[in-house]
Amino acid sequence: MYDTLTVRMSTTAGGDCLVCVRGELDFGTRSQFLAGMALLLAEYRPHRVHLDLTGLTFCDCAGLRAIQAVGLLGEARHRVRITAASQCVDLLMRLCHIEHLWGHRPA
């Protein structure tokens, strides 16, 4: 299986970043995701980061751990929020008994 992941970022006038993640977030793509997020946080130092995970078509436990790790990078702990997530992320959160993650509660 070929792993693909696309991470796109846009900024707002208020200093926030919207990060749209599409494709598969798993063991094979987690390093790419974390490296991109670390660069974003270090280089742009956004006031808040809004993660849009609705474009994820697959997410395994390694991907979920990577999402958790994003909020622990540097001083990002209080700045990262999941604004929306796909069904696969919601399902995995429920299966792992995670009631909320960076402001998101699974549907």
Domain segments of the chain: what residues? Answer: 5-95
The per-residue pLDDT for range 25-57, each reduced to its tens digit, is: 999 999 999 998 988 888 888 888 999 999 999
**Which tokens sit at 90?**
């919601």
CA angle 68, 103, 6 (to 5 degrees): 55
Q: How far apart are CA 46 and CA 80, in angstroms?
A: 10
Q: Check pLDDT > 80 for residue 88.
A: yes
Confidence of residue 13 (pLDDT cuts 50, 70, 90): confident
- Residue count of the chain: 107
The span from the CA of 91 to the CA of 39, in Å, is 29
Q: Measured between alpha carbons, how far is residue 67 from residues 73, 82, 83, 88 in Å? A: 11, 9, 13, 13
CATH code for 5-95?
3.30.750.24
Query: How distant, in Å, are the alpha carbons of 41, 72, 107 from that of 8?
Result: 14, 20, 24
* 90: pLDDT strictly greater than 90: yes
Q: Considering only CA atoms, which of 66, 54, 75 is closest in space to residue 25? A: 66
The whole-angstrom separation of Cα 57 and Cα 42 is: 28
pTM (2 decimals)? 0.88
* pLDDT band at residue 75 under the 50/70/90 scheme: low
